[in-house]
Structure 1
Amino acid sequence: MKRLLLLIKLGFLVCFSAGLMAQSLEEKYEVVDLCFKGNKELSDGKLLNVVRTRETPWVVWKWIYSLFGKEILGGQKPEYFDPVVFASDYYNIKRFYEDNGFFQAKIDSIILLDKSKREVRLEFKIVEGKRSFIDTINIYGIEALPEDVAKNLFKDRIINVGDPFIQENVEQELKRLISVFANSGYIDVKVKTADAQYYASTNNFSIIFVFEPGERYTFGEIKIQQDTAYPQISPKVVLRHIDFKVGEYYSEEKKIASERNLNRLGIFEVARIESDISNMQTYTQIPIRMILRTRDFQELTPEIGINDENNAFNVLFGVGYNHRNIFGGAEFFSTHIRTNLHSLKFSKLFKSNMLKDSSFVSKTELSMQFVLPYFINNKTNLSIALTAMLDKQPLYYLPSLGFRLGTQSQTATYTKLFIDWNLQISDPKSLNGETSTIVYRGARGTFEKQFNSFVAITLQRDKRNDFFYPSEGIFQSVTIEEGGIFPRVFKGLLKLELPYSQYVKVALSGQWYWDPGKKRDLIWALRLRAGSAILYGNSPLKNIPLTQRFYSGGSGSVRGWKARELGAMSSVIRGEGGRALVEGNLESRWNFLKGAGSLWFIDLEKLSMVFFYDCGTIWLDPKDIRASDIGMAIGFGLRYNTVAGPVRIDFGMKLYDPDAQAGNRWITQRRFFPETFKGGVIHLGVGHTF
């Protein structure tokens, strides 16, 4: 009866709406207002997602659309009232409320026509009523299942007794249950009943699932099929990196994870795992076919490119050698020599006094690395690296030798654990003789030969939907680092005479991405970073190593300042970094030429614009942190998408400059073009800022 009444009301609404428009069929009425009133539990945004009627855009966007006839540069077409669509919107809202447990919701609509202006205002009046909840959840047909499978069916449930009834959640719970069956060998499970029974007496629901599990399948014979035109890899290596064996219960999840393991090795150009059901020898054993094609094991590659290392634009020159299967077990060996030039003053590269030239900035590095892909298990690798580096900065140059022993483990689908132990011998040299840090702090610890050891543990969780171009998801990272324990414990044994630093350092980072329209037209991105390092014990050096300090300013930081030029300390020593950091970045990434096609050889759809707000700074010590020291910047930039990520150019201006004199710090207190705009900074880089 309720459904019949709804259909009658819907039919009346269609006729009424059509009747209003029948007098002027040639005229179009723009929708200047579309609003919802009375909705409390379900937001306007959620309701807008279920209706097709839209408000007409701002006059500027309509004008741009009229110029090009396309929705580019922000242009949007006018939105006109359609009585049939509006009537279906009424039904969609009613259905949406029911799907979210509001079976007593009442929906009314108001249509206000202005014939003189050919405009229409639309309103939905909503009385949500009492919400329905889940009384009981019953699962039948699982009585004969093994205990472990039955337990998994009740773990990590999406719906529980007492939850509000939401149809989508019930459907997701059904998918979860089917997935548990499929990953426990019951790939032929049948759903006999999936029902949400509504009881008018209580206004609540009883959820019923009835399954027929069927036969339980196992993994059958595993065949490895390699492309003979390419180098071959030992079958033992392949089998070691998959998560299943012959005779184990079949799991689609394990099959997918195994394929991921093989691709993570970096040795395969193609690695696919398929269920070869057509060749089943027994009724319950599923044969597996692995299709593999390796990459070249050895390669010698020249390297010429650009990057934004240290938050600055660099030109890279180098050469590298890689061997992806050096001992026959997919072990990876690489050695590289690279030079990053930041100042781009190539004429100074070969001068004898280049290290004492404060305008010359570069880094040269020779490195060797060996990676053992299977360490403890196939989700963990072990790496050993040796590096020799000469880092030239405006205030100092830093020659160093380093050793790193590290592990990387895929602890969960979206989570990685990194553990690194580093040994470093360095001999930093100030360009001004005695360092200004000593003068400022009255403490020893920056520019003297030193031997440092630090252990870092990093936990990362990455749920972004795309590595290069994320539009949804989150990325979170926490790092805890300790310095000094190795030389402190073994100083006497190894007869170490060089000073070292004892410290504890914590760094936190979070990134969030939103795509409100779900069209990748306008993406919002937010990053928050914070870090602190504290000396402890009787540390021979009264500062942490230059390589382990925090720096602020630059293309990947606060873009109103150049690289390493922002900090709450004397400008003379900002390039030496600090022991405390706070930063935040907000970006609006606008694909303003979507659908624009090409112009000559340029694909206009790959161009996008970014507007940003950055804030942050560094401090010499955590106890120095003051909110008034934080610099702020605003600006805009362009991106051009490539297969290796976007190439970007940004222009940042100081919104709030803590270094300026009082009364001249905010952008509103300065003349825009002679001061703010002229003092802006251009940044070039590769990849999104975050």
Structure 2
Amino acid sequence: MGFLFLVMYKNRKLFSIILSHKIFLSAIAFQLLLNVLNAQVLIEEDIPFEINNIELIGNKSIDSDILREVIISKETPSGFSQFIYNSISDKLGSKPEFFNEDIFTEDAVRLEKYYRSNGYYHSIISSSFIKDSAKKTVDLLFTIKENHHSYVDSVTYVGLDSLNPVLKGKLFTDAVIKKGMPYSGNKASAEIARVLNYLANNGYPTARFDAENSYESEFASSQNFMLKFVFTPGKYYIFGTQSVHIDPPRPDIYNRLFLRHLDFQTGETYSREKITSSERNLNRLGILETARIDHGTISDTSQQTTIPIDIYLRPRARNELSPEFIISDEGGFFNIGIGLGYTNRNFLGDARIFDTHIRLRTQDIQRWDFNNVFGGKGLKDLSVRGAVELQFQIIQPYLITRTLSATWTSTISAEKQQPYILSILRNKIGFNKQFATFTNGYFDWTLERVSPEILQDTLNTQALLSALREEDQPQFNSIFTVTIQRDKTNDLFSPTSGFFHSISLEESGILPKILPGIRSGLPFTQYYKVSLFGRWYQDLTWRRFNILAYKLRSGYQNKYGDSRSSDVRIPLNRRFFAGGSSSVRGWNARELGSMPTDLIQLGGNFIFEGSAEMRVSHFQGYGNIWFIKLENIVGVYFLDIGNVWKDISDFRIKDIAVAAGFGIRYETFFGPFRIDYGIRMYDPKGETGHKTIFQKRFLNETLSRGVFHFGIGHAF
């Protein structure tokens, strides 16, 4: 029994030991499983959520696109864009946008501050988000309750009583914020800047805004605002003596050449604006590399009320011989050429400029038929277009007054078009008058001898040959042209806002008619021409990302007097042509017209054109790939309409051609380099049933017949 008990006891102990080991191992396994599960949960929790969608609701007065620019949270880009970013280059595509709850909370505060700055002081912004754990995405929602828009009950200006009544009266005529207007913090800031700028341009350069004693007070009853602006004008100052510093000095340049181009005189009221405009005048002279106007620090503690002016000038080389490489889209063609120019700056003194150059340029060389060119026909082949010219020009920058300048230009040129060569001898005297900051007037008197040479061996139709025989006579015309232009665009090469308007009136024949003694014996044409042109620009995004640009152009010319009944024609080089890189881009240059196809290259007497472009900076904010700045690349999507008619009486709506397409611009310091591809949306000369894009086969009849255009500068 004792032995059996002992065995049983030992077995129980062994069983207990084995059981304990199993429990221990199970506990370890369970703990390991918990650790794995916890680690998986932690890993999943560490994976950030991408922002799938940002929705704003309740905003009635402020556009959602503007509010999206206010917040930092952004929607994540498409999967393809992320793939490009991660797999190919971080310069291309876009990185994913992840959710940050702290930033999201601050975004609501940013929106509230933005609404307050625009007069919605009682707006309420609430925010929420919904996470999708399976997709690891989050949707953000901002709910906006705009409430009452506060208005301005009164505006008080303090500290300006020392101004003379006339100056004070003019100050308030252009106020940015007035009683009864919706209140906006941005407008209040703009009004402060306007007053300070006005004072600085009227003798008070040390004027300042007293922020401590100024305030905006809200009425509890109406929730409108009373504004109080406190200013300290400081002392009244006038312009002092002017000192000119020329580096390096030149014996042929003296101070009076530059002082007469200043918009201010010693003793006149100080104006910061006049200093800026005077710098602009000096830099436009053409004989200076740089011009800068400066003065010492102005302090109210000074006993002086005059401000001495220092003018720092760096002249350009007096004589310059320069080779030229020409790329342009003049005449709607892609022009490539070479030239050699010589410039004498300060020619015979008086800041006068003498300039001469010889230039040779090809037009649309990519369309030349080189088999014919080198096969016998040479440069007289129908496909060859180009020009050569020798020009002499004298520019007189100051004529009687600083706002009036003059030019005298003499040109000898030969222009080759498809069936003819025009030999032109031209002498032109021009005057340029600046009427206002943005408005200029031009008056030109041109004496022009035009001699056409008809290339009969290149002609392929009897109709064209008959028409050209009527053109085959030299002419000597006296032409007067008056042009008024108003340019309020914000950039010379790539404007994003503003407009440009131009009207031009041209007359030929009146001078030889009333003074028969000056006639050369050659025929002349009595005709008149009216040309209208306008272009407009608008930034749709407030950050130069999406620019809408559009233009309208129209022109009409006709003979008058004795020329109406004679067989003399308006010169070929004075007619209207359509098609090309700056016209209706579904056609090549001078290949669009309502007249019979054979006669299109002879031009017309009435033109109407319109264009709209959307210029999108797709790579804004991106870096560089080698030497290419991605943010300089702009995508363009355009729609062009227009045509040219033999006479205005021939105009028909159904004859207006329509083209559309896309292009690329690359911004450079001399303007954007341009490539466009245009297709014909509506061809008024198409076969019946094949006029519109919807009636043609897209690949074989539309895309394959599209036209590429190259050029420097935007199309308009």
Q: 2:78 aligns with which of 46, 51, 58?
A: 58
Aligned counterpart, 2:527: 502
* Secondary structure class of the residue paired with 1:540: helix
Alpha-carbon distance, 1:492 to partner: 3.5
- Structure 1: how far apart are the matches of 2:712 and 2:208? 50
Quick one: structure 1 residues 550 and 589, their matched pair in 2 at CA, closer, same or farther if it must change by over 3 Å? Answer: farther
Aligned counterpart, 2:147: 129
**Alignment of 1:173 onto 2:191:** yes
Quick one: structure 1 residues 643 and 675, their matched pair in 2 at CA, closer, same or farther if it must change by over 3 Å? Answer: same
Q: 2:412 aligns with which of 365, 384, 388?
A: 388
- Structure 2: how far apart are the matches of 1:336 and 1:65? 50
Alpha-carbon distance, 1:188 to partner: 1.7
* Secondary structure class of the residue paired with 1:49: helix
Alpha-carbon distance, 1:386 to partner: 1.9
Deviates more, 1:667-676 or 1:249-258: 667-676
Q: 1:256 aligns with which of 267, 272, 276?
A: 276
Alpha-carbon distance, 1:81 to partner: 2.2
Tell me if structure 2 keeps the 8 A contact 1:274–1:288. Answer: yes
Aligned counterpart, 2:692: 666
**Alignment of 1:675 onto 2:704:** no
- Counterpart residue type for residue 303 of structure 1: E
Alpha-carbon distance, 1:254 to partner: 0.9
Quick one: structure 1 residues 352 and 420, their matched pair in 2 at CA, closer, same or farther if it must change by over 3 Å? Answer: farther
Aligned counterpart, 1:336: 357
- Structure 1: how far apart are the matches of 2:375 and 2:393? 31
- Structure 1: how far apart are the matches of 2:351 and 2:73? 57
Deviations 1:411-457 (A, max 9, x none): 333333333233323233444599958978xx998543333343333
**Alignment of 1:40 onto 2:82:** no
Alpha-carbon distance, 1:31 to partner: 2.1
Quick one: structure 1 residues 98 and 607, their matched pair in 2 at CA, closer, same or farther if it must change by over 3 Å? Answer: closer
Aligned counterpart, 1:582: 609
Tell me if structure 1 keeps the 8 A contact 2:429–2:445. Answer: yes
* 1:55-454 equivalent positions in 2, closer than 5 A: 55-68=75-88, 70-72=90-92, 75-192=93-210, 193-228=213-248, 233-277=253-297, 283-342=304-363, 344=365, 357-432=381-456, 436=463, 446-454=471-479
- Structure 1: how far apart are the matches of 2:654 and 2:251? 61
- Structure 2: how far apart are the matches of 1:409 and 1:247? 27
Higher helix share goes to which structure? 2
* Secondary structure class of the residue paired with 1:427: strand
Q: 1:573 aligns with which of 599, 611, 614?
A: 599
Deviations 1:291-334 (A, max 9, x none): 11100112222333332221112222332221120121111121
Deviations 1:226-259 (A, max 9, x none): 1136665210011101111222221111111111
- Structure 2: how far apart are the matches of 1:232 and 1:22? 82
- Structure 1: how far apart are the matches of 2:421 and 2:273? 51
**Alignment of 1:528 onto 2:527:** no
Quick one: structure 1 residues 107 and 228, their matched pair in 2 at CA, closer, same or farther if it must change by over 3 Å? Answer: closer
Identity %: 34
- Counterpart residue type for residue 355 of structure 2: S
**Alignment of 1:685 onto 2:697:** no
Once superposed, what is the RMSD of the aligned Cα atoms?
Answer: 3.3
Alpha-carbon distance, 1:373 to partner: 0.7
- Structure 1: how far apart are the matches of 2:678 and 2:309? 55
- Structure 2: how far apart are the matches of 1:590 and 1:628? 35
Quick one: structure 1 residues 267 and 78, their matched pair in 2 at CA, closer, same or farther if it must change by over 3 Å? Answer: same
Deviations 1:322-366 (A, max 9, x none): 112012111112122222222646999999986854232121222
- When normalised by structure 1's length, the TM-score is 0.87
- Structure 2: how far apart are the matches of 1:96 and 1:602? 37
Alpha-carbon distance, 1:672 to partner: 3.4
Q: 2:581 aligns with which of 555, 558, 573?
A: 555
- When normalised by structure 2's length, the TM-score is 0.84
* Secondary structure class of the residue paired with 1:248: coil
Q: 2:487 aligns with which of 434, 457, 462?
A: 462
- Structure 2: how far apart are the matches of 1:571 and 1:688? 29
Deviations 1:137-162 (A, max 9, x none): 22222222123321331232222222
Alpha-carbon distance, 1:62 to partner: 2.5
- Counterpart residue type for residue 633 of structure 1: A
* Secondary structure class of the residue paired with 1:175: helix
- Structure 2: how far apart are the matches of 1:310 and 1:395? 17
- Counterpart residue type for residue 386 of structure 1: S
Aligned counterpart, 1:512: 537
Alpha-carbon distance, 1:606 to partner: 5.2
Deviations 1:104-124 (A, max 9, x none): 323333322222222222222
Quick one: structure 1 residues 435 and 480, their matched pair in 2 at CA, closer, same or farther if it must change by over 3 Å? Answer: farther
- Counterpart residue type for residue 43 of structure 1: D
Alpha-carbon distance, 1:382 to partner: 1.3
- Structure 2: how far apart are the matches of 1:348 and 1:273? 60
Quick one: structure 1 residues 46 and 217, their matched pair in 2 at CA, closer, same or farther if it must change by over 3 Å? Answer: same
- Structure 2: how far apart are the matches of 1:388 and 1:289? 45
Tell me if structure 1 keeps the 8 A contact 2:262–2:278. Answer: yes
Tell me if structure 2 keeps the 8 A contact 1:437–1:446. Answer: no
**Structure 2: which 5+ residue stretches go unaligned?**
1-40
* 1:578-657 equivalent positions in 2, closer than 5 A: 578=604, 579-590=606-617, 592=619, 595-599=622-626, 609-657=635-683
- Counterpart residue type for residue 652 of structure 2: R
* Secondary structure class of the residue paired with 1:159: coil
Count of residue correspondences = 662
Deviates more, 1:29-38 or 1:637-646: 637-646
- Structure 1: how far apart are the matches of 2:343 and 2:404? 21
Alpha-carbon distance, 1:34 to partner: 1.5
- Structure 2: how far apart are the matches of 1:22 and 1:180? 63
Tell me if structure 2 keeps the 8 A contact 1:355–1:397. Answer: no
- Structure 1: how far apart are the matches of 2:371 and 2:396? 41
Alpha-carbon distance, 1:603 to partner: 5.9
Deviates more, 1:461-470 or 1:430-439: 430-439
Tell me if structure 1 keeps the 8 A contact 2:385–2:417. Answer: yes
* Secondary structure class of the residue paired with 2:170: helix
- Structure 2: how far apart are the matches of 1:135 and 1:403? 64
* Secondary structure class of the residue paired with 2:308: strand
**Structure 1: which 5+ residue stretches go unaligned?**
1-20
* Secondary structure class of the residue paired with 1:88: helix
Quick one: structure 1 residues 253 and 388, their matched pair in 2 at CA, closer, same or farther if it must change by over 3 Å? Answer: same
